[in-house]
């Protein structure tokens, strides 16, 4: 599963791990990505979305219909 959110577009950030001796090694900050299934009443079907935890909370607030419209406006496939 790719670490990218379909709604918010959150992707991994990159940086360094700094040890006690101050050596730097590369690391990756992954968003909290979940696969979630929602019922889409307008199309009478389930849709499975790859979302960050923050996007799941946003869908709870705004509703699945407007979230799917926003994903499609960004050019995403639902």
Kindly state the tokens that stand for 18: 């700094």
| Cβ(9)–Cβ(51) below 8 Å | no
- pLDDT digits 0-9 by tens, 56-65: 999 999 999 9
> How far apart are alpha carbons 7 and 76 in whole angstroms?
9
Q: The whole model's pTM is what? A: 0.85
- pLDDT digits 0-9 by tens, 10-57: 999 999 999 999 999 999 999 999 999 999 999 999 999 999 999 999
DSSP 43: T
> How far apart are alpha carbons 22 and 72 in whole angstroms?
45
Kindly state the tokens that stand for 1: 């599963």
Kindly state the tokens that stand for 24: 């730097």
């Amino acid at each position: 599963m790719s670490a990218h959110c379909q709604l918010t577009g959150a992707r991994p950030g990159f940086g360094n791990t700094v040890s006690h001796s101050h050596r730097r090694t590369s690391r990756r900050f992954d968003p909290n990505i979940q696969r979630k299934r929602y019922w889409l009443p307008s199309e009478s079907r389930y849709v499975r979305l790859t979302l960050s935890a923050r996007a799941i909370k946003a869908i709870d607030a705004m509703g699945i219909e407007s979230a799917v419209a926003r994903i499609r406006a960004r050019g995403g496939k639902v």
